Chains A and B, each alone.
Chain A
Amino acid sequence: MAYSEKVIDHYNNPRNMGSLPKDDLQVGTGIVGAPECGDVMKLQIKVEDDVIVDAKFKTFGCGSAIASSSLATEWLKGRTVAEAYTIKNTAIVQELNLPPVKIHCSVLAEDAIKSALEDYKKKSLAATGETK
């Protein structure tokens, strides 16, 4: 099974690998997957004035999973929270040329994005007490 050049590139040069402080009110953290499945992604976003100014990832998983989550952080930075919700796994599949057996990696990345966004939303609602 040969990897696409883009997957190899993300694997060798991961974008935004690392962590943001979990307890920061502007940070949303999403952790999806499970060790038994061989795939766990942690995706974090830092939001200022509704714009994602920073994103970080850490992944336990194969090369395609690492590439999918790395790409996700690239796409999140600079987008608004609303725009971030529109990121679809199919776009990740296309960008990375993922073969059919690896499509689930892109699905998990989309789940991770949504999970981080939900976490941020929950925290900001709790902080401001506002209903959106």
Chain B
Amino acid sequence: MKFPIYMDNHSTTPMDPRVLEAMLPYFIEKFGNAASRNHQFGWEAEEAVEHARKQIARLIHCDAKEIVFTSGATESDNLALKGIVEMYKEKGDHIITCSTEHRAILDTCKSLEKRGIKVTYLQVEKDGRVNLDAVRNAITDKTILISIMLANNEIGTIHPIAEIGKIAKEKGILLHCDATQGVGKIPVDVEALKVDLMSFTSHKIYGPKGIGALYVRKKGPRVRLVPQMDGGGHERGMRSGTLPVPSIVGFGKACELCEQEMPTESARIAAMRDRLQAQIMKDLDECYLNGHQTERLPHNLNISFAYVEGEALLMGVKEIALSSGSACTSATLEPSYVLRALGVGSDLAHSSIRFGLGRFTTDEEVDYTAKRMVAAVTRLREMSPLYEMAKEGIDLKSVQWAVH
């Protein structure tokens, strides 16, 4: 086993060596600008880009012409929301989204609110899924866009996008889906999901960082948006800027590998994830799974370990790379807003650990991680005044805490 063990694949993934190999010729040898129309350097680069575009389109079952390259899912989210709001401003000024979206969506919505756009942030149920009736009831005659993520980055919960798509189509409203965590892990078909725009990125699927895409529907309906990056009209006028050819080649190769390997890979990873969960939970009491039990990404696990704080837990397993919903681990010193939205109390939010398995995770690593987690939780519970009080039969919710 190599240490440290990487089990934080929601945050990013290592590049697949095959992806790196595909990229290499495009740095020094075939380095042309894909927009140079008049010489071989340009033609070679353009050919590589178009080939990658097809590989990417195949993974999500769209036409290659419907792929717009961006610097990543954050930019794709910005482009989708701002681009649509600006294009359809005569039609309306209301967006519907969800409180558990990634910051790339939430912060963009906040920015749009400053411009006078109205945003409805739907609550989720206890299992993390958005309620279909809530979506329907939130629609007004000024609604121009619904944006719901395919799968949540913290708790892995998969939303009923196809059903939301059906509602959106009925009402003639565009549907954007941030599919960053789902693409390459579960089958994604833009027709089946009935989405009109979809964001995703390369670095979550063993490709390079700094490149992503926005799917923009061309037919049924033809979606138009106002570009957010001006300067030359690249990507059908939707996103200007010289294309990073090596990164695009890598992105394409990463998608191709996912398409080929996903059926067996996702099953294998899900089995390891289930074993990790079983091994942890059989030896520890008061562990709570956060998110939906079955509508969940195959490689995600998010568990709250009552009476133990997340950052201290991570310190106890510092040879394993994980992440936590604890306030101490966040840049803003706030506990995870996703867990809070589920109705998980702040105390359990502080006690949560997210496990993200991946293509390169081994059975050995899973078994080791389970053992170490159990040991670390047990040790910290011995040190915990809350565990002591709970064992004495005190109801912690009834205690008057002396907060300073």
Query: Hey, which chain A residues are within 8 Å of B385, CB to CB?
Result: 31, 40-42, 58-60
Q: Is the CB of B311 within 8 A of A63?
A: yes
Query: Hey, which chain A residues are within 8 Å of B24, CB to CB?
Result: none
State the total of A-B contacts with C-beta under 8 angstroms: 87
Query: Hey, which chain B residues are within 8 Å of A127, CB to CB?
Result: none
Query: Hey, which chain A residues are within 8 Å of B401, CB to CB?
Result: 31, 33-35, 40
Q: Which of B310, B311, B315, B347 contacts A35 (CB 8 A)?
A: B347
Q: A32 an interface residue at 8 Å Cβ cutoff?
A: yes
B316, B346, B404 — which one has the most chain A CB atoms within 10 A of its CB? B404
Q: Is the CB of A63 within 8 A of B327?
A: no
Q: A101 an interface residue at 8 Å Cβ cutoff?
A: yes
The digit string for B344-380, where 1 denotes a CB below 8 A from any CB of A, is 0111001000000000000000000000000000000
Instruction: Give the distance in Å from the alpha carbon of A62 to the alpha carbon of B318 in the complex.
Output: 13
Q: Which of B312, B333, B382, B396 contacts A61 (CB 8 A)?
A: B312
Q: Is the CB of A34 within 8 A of B350?
A: no
Q: Is the CB of A32 within 8 A of B404?
A: yes
The distance from the CB of B63 to the nearest CB of chain A, in whole angstroms, is: 45
Residues 299-317 (chain B) with a chain A CB within 8 angstroms:
307-312, 315-316
Q: B156 an interface residue at 8 Å Cβ cutoff?
A: no
- Chain B's interface size range is 20 to 34
Query: Hey, which chain B residues are within 8 Å of A87, CB to CB?
Result: none
The digit string for A13-39, where 1 denotes a CB below 8 A from any CB of B, is 010010100000000000111111111
Q: A51 an interface residue at 8 Å Cβ cutoff?
A: no
Q: Is the CB of B311 within 8 A of A62?
A: yes
Instruction: Give the distance in Å from the alpha carbon of A75 to the alpha carbon of B354 in the complex.
Output: 36
Query: Hey, which chain A residues are within 8 Å of B346, CB to CB?
Result: 35-38
The distance from the CB of A22 to the nearest CB of chain B, in whole angstroms, is: 10
Q: Which of A3, A40, A66 contacts B386 (CB 8 A)?
A: A40
The distance from the CB of A119 to the nearest CB of chain B, in whole angstroms, is: 11
Q: Is the CB of A60 within 8 A of B404?
A: no
Q: Is the CB of B402 within 8 A of A61?
A: no
Q: Is the CB of A11 within 8 A of B312?
A: yes
Q: Is the CB of A61 within 8 A of B309?
A: yes
Instruction: Give the distance in Å from the alpha carbon of A11 to the alpha carbon of B310 in the complex.
Output: 14
Instruction: Give the distance in Å from the alpha carbon of A41 to the alpha carbon of B403 in the complex.
Output: 11
Measured CB to CB, the nearest residue on chain B to A110 is B404
Query: Hey, which chain B residues are within 8 Å of A107, CB to CB?
Result: 404
Q: B113 an interface residue at 8 Å Cβ cutoff?
A: no
Q: B335 an interface residue at 8 Å Cβ cutoff?
A: yes
Q: Is the CB of A101 within 8 A of B333?
A: yes
Q: Given A35-B396, A37-B346, A40-B386, check contact A62 B402 (CB 8 Å).
A: no
Q: Given A35-B396, A36-B346, A36-B347, check contact A62 B326 (CB 8 Å).
A: yes
Q: Is the CB of A60 within 8 A of B403?
A: no
Measured CB to CB, the nearest residue on chain B to A70 is B383
The distance from the CB of A42 to the nearest CB of chain B, in whole angstroms, is: 4
Query: Hey, which chain B residues are within 8 Å of A11, CB to CB?
Result: 312, 315-316
Instruction: Give the distance in Å from the alpha carbon of A60 to the alpha carbon of B403 in the complex.
Output: 14
Instruction: Give the distance in Å from the alpha carbon of A40 to the alpha carbon of B383 in the complex.
Output: 11
Q: B384 an interface residue at 8 Å Cβ cutoff?
A: yes
Q: A68 an interface residue at 8 Å Cβ cutoff?
A: no
Q: A72 an interface residue at 8 Å Cβ cutoff?
A: no
The distance from the CB of A101 to the nearest CB of chain B, in whole angstroms, is: 7
Query: Hey, which chain A residues are within 8 Å of B384, CB to CB?
Result: 58-60
Given A3-B315, A33-B401, A38-B350, 4 other A-B residues pairs in contact with their CB atoms under 8 A: A8-B315, A33-B403, A35-B386, A66-B383
19 contacts between A and B (CB under 8 A): A11-B316, A31-B385, A31-B402, A32-B404, A33-B401, A33-B403, A34-B402, A34-B403, A38-B309, A38-B310, A38-B350, A41-B385, A58-B384, A58-B388, A60-B308, A61-B328, A63-B315, A65-B309, A111-B404
Which residues of B does A touch, CB under 8 Å?
307-312, 315-316, 326-328, 333, 335, 345-347, 350, 382-388, 396, 401-404
